[in-house]
């Protein structure tokens, strides 16, 4: 693994206030993982995270306990953390569960999503298309997460949203590896199909497009693991 501590201050984090210290550190760490800011193979020290957040090591350690329990992070040594390794069996398991859960969330969202959310999805898709062309990996990953969760939030189920977030915590760092495979461009086509199905209120087409999007990433990642 490659040490990335010298660049930790460049991550998109902000100083946290003391009133909700542990929860806010946990939330910011969660956002970093979901946005792919910590890639597989990278190490980040606990002290570097504490310095970036402007807190002591204690709230960082507490957040890491929760994220380790969720299989989102692993403690590599007593002082460093990284993304857990992904084997073919675990990838297949995540794929199957994601298809069931995320297609259900999309189906529920189709009944409730409004014009404002559809406009947001259109803007996010255009941003992802630009990021794919320019090779802006971080920009693409941020947009990809925002696109999907704009839909899943519209489902109106905090329980379902929490399940999806936990699944993404385990898989989204590996989306970094999809750049260069052509998957980002292919995924944008699936995102277009998702958006078209939402506009039409076509639940069957929407579920199929969500599945195709998940399967596309799965196929590339599985090939990389072989």
Q: Which domains does the chain have, with CATH numbers?
A: 2-82 (1.10.10.10), 88-225 (1.20.120.530)
User: pLDDT confidence of 182, banded at 50, 70, 90?
Assistant: confident
Mean pLDDT of 183-207: 94
Contact 34, 164 (CB under 8 A): no
pTM of the shown model: 0.85
The answer to whether residue 3 scores a pLDDT higher than 50 is: no
Give tens-digit pLDDT for 62-77: 999 999 999 999 988 8
Kindly provide the residue ranges of all beta strands, DSSP E only, lying in the chain, ordered along the sequence: 2-3, 42-45, 74-75, 80-82
pLDDT at 14 over 70: no
Q: Is the pLDDT of residue 45 over 50?
A: yes
- Cα–Cα distances (Å) from 101 to 7, 34, 49, 179, 185, in that order, read 35, 17, 32, 25, 24
Tokens of residue 189, six digits: 């086509």
Please report how the helices 46-53 and 21-34 are oriented relative to each other, as an axis angle in degrees rounded to 10.
110
The more confident residue out of 93 and 22 is 93
Q: What is the mean pLDDT of the chain?
A: 89
CA 208, CA 160: separation in Å to the nearest integer? 19
Work out the percent of the chain whose per-residue pLDDT is above 90.
70
pLDDT of residue 126: 98
pLDDT at 15 over 80: no
User: What pLDDT was estimated at residue 178?
Assistant: 85
């Amino acid at each position: 693994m490659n040490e990335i501590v010298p660049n930790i201050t460049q991550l998109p984090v902000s100083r946290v206030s003391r009133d909700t210290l542990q929860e806010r550190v946990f939330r910011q760490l969660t956002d970093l993982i979901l946005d792919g800011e910590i890639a597989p193979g990278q190490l980040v020290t606990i002290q570097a995270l504490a310095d970036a957040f402007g807190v002591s090591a204690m709230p960082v350690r507490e957040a890491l306990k929760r994220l380790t329990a969720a299989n989102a992070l692993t403690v590599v040594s007593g002082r460093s953390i990284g993304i857990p390794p992904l084997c073919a069996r675990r990838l297949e398991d995540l794929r199957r569960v994601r298809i069931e859960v995320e297609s259900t969330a999309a189906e529920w969202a189709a009944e409730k999503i409004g014009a404002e959310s559809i406009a947001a999805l259109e803007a996010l898709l255009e941003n992802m298309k630009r990021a794919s062309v320019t090779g802006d990996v971080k920009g693409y990953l941020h947009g990809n997460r925002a696109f999907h969760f704009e839909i899943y939030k519209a489902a109106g189920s905090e329980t379902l949203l929490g399940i999806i977030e936990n699944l993404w915590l385990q898989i989204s760092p590996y989306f970094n590896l999809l750049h260069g495979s052509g998957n980002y461009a292919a995924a944008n086509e699936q995102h277009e199909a998702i958006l078209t199905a939402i506009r039409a209120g076509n639940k069957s087409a929407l579920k199929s497009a969500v599945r195709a999007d998940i399967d596309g990433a799965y196929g590339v990642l599985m090939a990389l693991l072989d």
